[in-house]
Chains A and B, each alone.
Chain A
Amino acid sequence: MTDLVAERYRLAFRLYPYARSPDQDAPAPARHKVIIAGGGPIGLATALDLGRRGVPVVLLDDHEGAGLGSRALCFAKRTLEICDRLGAAGPMLDKGVQWNVGKVFHDDRLLYEFNLLPEGGHAFPAFINLQQPWFEKFLHDAILAAQAEGAPIELRGRNRVDAVTPSADHVTLDIMTPDGPYQLQADWLIACDGARSPLRGMLGLSFDGRVFEDNFLIADVKMKADFPTERWFWFEPHFKSGDSALLHKQPDDIWRIDFQLGWNIDRAKELEPANIRARVDAMLGPDVAYELDWCSIYTFQCRRMDRFRHGRVLFAGDSAHQVSPFGARGANSGIQDVDNLAWKLALVLDGTAPDSLLDSYDAERVHGADENILNSTRATDFITPKTPVSKLFRNAVLTLAEHLPFARTVVNSGRLSLPCTYDGSALNGPDHPDMPPRTRPGSPCPDAPLAGGWLLPHLGRGFTLLSINQTVPDSLSAHGLTVPRLALDATPEIAARYLGNAKGAVYLIRPDQHVAARWDHFDESAIAAALARAIGKV
C-alpha cells in the first residue's frame, strides 16, 4: 500500500475502494458535468439526488468509505423525508432508535420531562438516533440501487483533491491517487468536504461569524443497562463533568454520552481511557458494567461562509456552515442544502433554468444557516452563560422550571432541528391569506396520509400542482417544464394543513417539496408566471 493518499482516520465501512479510472490515463484532463468533493453524508446525498435526476456526477473522497464513530447521530423528520425521496429512508428507520421522552436535570434534580409526541398523520417520527456511518452506508446502498437502474453516479475512493483552479465556465482539479496524480475538469464543483474544508482553504475563502468555542467529549458506551430510551440532559451535572451532559440511546446497545468540557482543556489527557472511565463512572454510578465503544473530543465553532456559491463552486454542509451540536442542526441542515441544490443544478444543466437560479441556493441556504446559527447560539448561551448576571437568570429559570410550566418554555438545551421556511425568497410567488401559515410560500410541505399511503412520496420528482376542491387540468406546460397535477381529497389532515379557511386550493410545489405559490382557484397564466419565478426566470 502506497502512502500517496495517507489515511487520516479508520473506517467503519469500506464502501468505494480505489479503482483506477481511464481518466487517469487520458492525455488531457477529462471533463465532467459535476464533481462532488467529499463522501460524507452530504456528498453522498448530493451524488444520489443529482444522479437520480439524471445528472452525471463523479464523487471524490480521499478515503474509501464511512469513517468510524457515531458522530452526527440525531436525524430529524425532514432529513428522513428527504432520504425517503432519495430511496434511502426505509433501512434508516428500521435500524434507528426512535425516541419521544426527554428529561432535564439541574445538578442532581429532575426538573421536568417532556414528550415530543409528534403531530399525528406523518409517515416519519420527529427523530431517530442512528450512527453516522450507518446513515452513510444506507445512502451508499441507495446509490448502488440507483446505479443499477442507470443513474450516472461514479464514486472514486482515495482520490484526494490537492488543488483547484477556477475558470469562468469550469474548474480544474489536481487529484492525488495511490497511482499518482491526475487532473479533471468540471462544469460545476460541489464542495462537501466538511468543517475544515480543504477546498475552502485552497480558494482562500473566509469562514467567519460569531466564533464560539467549546470542547465536547463524546463517549459511546456499550452496556446492557436498564436505562429507558429517553434523552437525558443535565445542566451543571452533579457528577461534575462540566457545564452540561447528555445521555442518548443509539442502536446496538450503545449509549452516547456528551460531556461539555469547556475551552481550556488538555486534549490528550482527557482522551486517556482512565480519565474517560472516571467521568463515565461518576455519571452512571459504580455498579454499571460497560465498555467504551468509541470516544472523541469534538470542538465546534458557530460560523458560516459569506456566500455558498463562488462562481462554479458551490459549498454544502459543514464546509459552508458550522453550528454547536445543541439542536442536531449540523447534518440535518446539510441534507437540506442538498435538497435545495440538486434540483436547481439539474435544471441549470439541462438549460431549463438560467445560471442565476443557483444564486437562490445561496440566498435560501444562507437564510437556513443563519436560523441554525441563531438557535444554536441561543442554546449555547443558555447552557454556558457568559456573564455572572446571565448565569443568575439562567439558574433562576431552572429553579422555576421545576415547579412552573411557563419557565420550561425558556429552558434551552437545544431547539431541535426543524425544516427551514424560505420566507422572503425571490423564488416565492403569491400567497393566499385564508390558508394556513405553515404552508405559506417557502415552506416545506407537511406530510399527510392519503388513501393507501402518504402525500410526500407523490412530490419531488419535478414541480407538482396540488389541487384541493378545484378543477385543474391533468398537467400544465410552461417554460420548458410539464407540471403534473395531483388532486387531493380534503381529508381532515389535508384541510388543516393546506386549506385553512379557503374553500379550495391550488399549490405549486417545487421539486424539493417546498411550496412555491398558492391560490384559491386555477389560473393558468398566474401559475406559469409563478413557475417562471420559481426557476429564476424573472
Chain B
Amino acid sequence: MLITAPNLTRPDETYERLIAIHDGLTEAESHALNARLVLILMNHIGDHQVLDQALRLARDPSRAPD
C-alpha cells in the first residue's frame, strides 16, 4: 500500500536537496536527472502494485489511491 500520510523524516532539508541537486544543470540535464531519480526510487520501492498507485496518484493527485 502506497504511503500518502506524511513520511519524510526531514521534509525541509530533503526538499532543499532536491532543488540543489539541479544546480548548474541545463533544463535537459535536469530532466535526465529527474528520470534517473524516478528509476532509482522505483527500484527502491520495488513492489509493482505500490508503484502503480504512485503513478496513478502522480497523474491525478485529486484521486486517492484505492
A400 to B39 CA separation, bound complex (whole angstroms):
9
B27 to chain A, nearest CB (A): 12
A392 in the interface, Cβ–Cβ < 8 Å?
yes
Complex Cα distance, B35 from A348, in Å, reads: 56
Tell me, in angstroms, the Cα distance from A410 to B36 when the chains sit together.
Answer: 13
Listed from nearest, the 8 A-B pairs whose CB atoms lie closest are A396-B35, A406-B43, A396-B36, A392-B35, A393-B35, A396-B39, A392-B31, A400-B36
CB distance from B59 to the nearest CB of A (A): 13
Whether B36 pairs with A399 at a CB distance below 8 angstroms is yes
- CA gap between A410 and B35 in the complex, in Å: 14
| Chain B hits for A392, CB < 8 A | 31-32, 35
Interface residues of B in 14-66 (CB under 8 A from A): 31-32, 35-36, 38-40, 43
- Chain B proximity of A390: nearest CB distance (Å): 10
Binary B-proximity of A399-420 (CB < 8 A = 1, otherwise 0): 1100010110010000000000
Total count of chain A residues near the partner, CB < 8 A: 11
Total contacting residues, chain B, CB less than 8 A: 8
B32 in contact with A407 (CB, 8 Å): no
The answer to whether A450 has its CB under 8 Å from any CB of chain B is no
In the assembled complex, the Cα of A396 lies from the Cα of B38 at a distance in Å of: 10
CB distance from A396 to the nearest CB of B (A): 4
CA separation between A399 and B35, bound complex, in Å?
Answer: 11
User: How far, in angstroms, from A397 to B40 measured CA to CA in the complex?
Assistant: 9
Chain B interface (Cβ within 8 Å of chain A)?
A: 31-32, 35-36, 38-40, 43
23 contacts between A and B (CB under 8 A): A392-B31, A392-B32, A392-B35, A393-B35, A393-B38, A393-B39, A395-B32, A395-B35, A396-B32, A396-B35, A396-B36, A396-B38, A396-B39, A397-B39, A399-B32, A399-B36, A400-B36, A400-B39, A400-B40, A406-B43, A407-B39, A407-B43, A410-B39
Contacts of B43 in A (CB 8 A): 406-407
**Which chain A residues lie closer than 8 Å to B32 at the CB level?**
392, 395-396, 399
A470 vs B35: C-alpha distance when bound (angstroms): 55
Q: Which residue of A lies closest to B35 (CB)?
A: A396
User: Nearest Cβ distance between residue A391 and chain B, in whole angstroms?
Assistant: 10
Closest B residue to A405 using CB positions: B43
Considering only residues 213-272 of chain A, those with a C-beta below 8 Å from chain B are none
Nearest Cβ in chain A — how far from B39, in angstroms?
6
Instruction: For residue A395, give the distance in angstroms from its CB to the closest CB of chain B.
Output: 7
A407-B38 Cα distance, complex, nearest whole Å = 12
CB distance from B48 to the nearest CB of A (A): 13
Chain A hits for B31, CB < 8 A: 392
With a cutoff of 8 Å between Cβ atoms, the chain B residues found around residue A410 in the complex are 39
CA distance in complex: A165, B9 (Å): 74
| Chain B nearest Cβ from A448, distance in angstroms | 32
Give a binary string over A380-402; 1 marks a CB under 8 Å from any B CB, 0 the rest: 00000000000011011101100
